[in-house]
Amino acid sequence: MDTPRRVEHQETDRGYVPVYATGIVEQPWASYSKTDHEVWNTLYQRQRELLPAYACKEFLEGVERFGFGEGGIPRFDDLNKVLGEATGWQIVAVEGLLPDEVFFDHLANRRFPVSWWIRRPDQLDYLSEPDLFHDLFGHVPLLLNPVFADYMEAYGKGGMKAHAIGPEALMNLTRLYWYTVEFGLINTPEGMRIYGAGIVSSKGESVYSIDSAAPNRIGFGLERVMNTKYRIDTYQQTYFVIDSFDQLFDATRPDFTPIYASLAEGSPVAAADVLGTDKVFQRGTREGFASGADN
Ligand code: PHE
Ligand code: FE
C-alpha cells in the first residue's frame, strides 16, 4: 500500500529518498524571557505540590534526580549529563511536532525531542500543542528508568515498522503511545498512580485521572489498547492501568505484524466503552462525558 508521505522526498543518486530532516535546533537558553522562566517556575511548583500523592515513584525519583526546581527553565545540556549516564538517552531541542518517521527515528536512537519554547502565562492549564513543560517535565523523568527507557526505544523501532506497513498499523501503534506514554496509570502498593506524561504535566487531569468517578480504569491489554479510539479534546474517558513497567515492556515484545493484520479485520472500540472481557478497576459514571466522535 502506498502510505501518505509526511517526510520530504528528494531525487538523489540512490533514487527518490526521504530527507530525514531531524528538526534539531540548539536550545536558545539565553533568549528565554523572565516571563518564560516564571511560567516554568509556576508550573513546576504546582505539580511538585500535587504529584507526591498522584504520580508513581519512578517519575518522582526522576524529577529529583534531574534537580528540577524553581530556578527557571533547565538547560538541556545539564540534563543530558545526568540522562546520558543513567540510560544513554539524550534530549534534543526541536521547534515542535515532527513528522512521524523523524520522531520514530529519534526514539529508536534514544533521543527524545523536546520543544524548546514554553507556553504563555494565559495557557497554564491548557494548550493544544506540546510545549517545553509537557515534553520535558512530563516525558523526560521516566527516561531515567531503565525499563521505561528501553520501552521508548523499542517503540521508536516499532514505529518505523508500523509506518512501513501502513496508516492503519500506525494508528494502532499511536493508540498504544496515547494510552501508555501519554495517559498511562500504574497500579502500585500505594494505590493507583500516574506515569503518563499528558497527565503529570496537567494539574487538572492529574487529579481527574485518579480521583474522578467519571472515567473507566481498565487493566492494560495490548490488543485492547491498540484497538481503542481516544479523545484529544477532553480528559480521557478511559485510562488503562499497568501493574509494572516490566509488564508493559514484556507485553510489547512480540512482533506486532500479525496483530495489525487481525485488528484490521475488526472495528475499533469507542473511547468510553467497557467490554465484557475487561479487567475493570473502575467502571466510570461517565459524568460530564462529551458526546461526538473520538479518534
Ligand atoms: N514489538 C513491536 C513490533 O514488533 C515493537 C514495539 C515495541 C512497539 C514496544 C511498541 C512498543 O512492532
Ligand atoms: Fe507528549
| pLDDT band at residue 6 using 50, 70 and 90 as cut-offs | very low
Q: Does residue 20 register a pLDDT over 90?
A: no
What is residue 14's predicted lDDT score, i.e. its pLDDT?
A: 56
**Distance from chain centroid for Cα 193:** 16
pLDDT digits (tens, 9 = 90+) for 95-107: 988 999 999 999 9
- 163 annotated ligand binder: no
Using CB atoms within 10 Å of the CB of residue 239, give its burial: 0 to 12 exposed, 13 to 18 middle, 19+ buried: buried
CATH annotation of 22-282: 1.10.800.10
242-268 burial string, b = 16+ CB within 10 Å, else e?
beebeebbebbeeebeebbeebeeeeb
Domain residue ranges of the chain, discontinuous segments joined by +: 22-282
Query: Among candidates 80, 196, 103, which has minimal Cα distance to 157?
Result: 103
- Ligand number nearest CA of 107 is 1
- The interaxial angle of helices 100-108 and 146-165, nearest 10 deg, is 140
Element (H, E) at 258: helix 257-265
pLDDT digits (tens, 9 = 90+) for 150-177: 999 999 999 999 999 999 999 999 999 9
| ipTM surpasses 0.90 | yes
Q: Rounded distance, CA 54 to CA 280, Å? A: 20
Q: Rounded distance, CA 105 to CA 22, Å? A: 9
| Ligand 1 binding pocket mutation candidate from 107, 150, 155 (most atoms within 8 A of CB) | 155
| Ligand 1 binding pocket mutation candidate from 110, 150, 161, 220 (most atoms within 8 A of CB) | 161
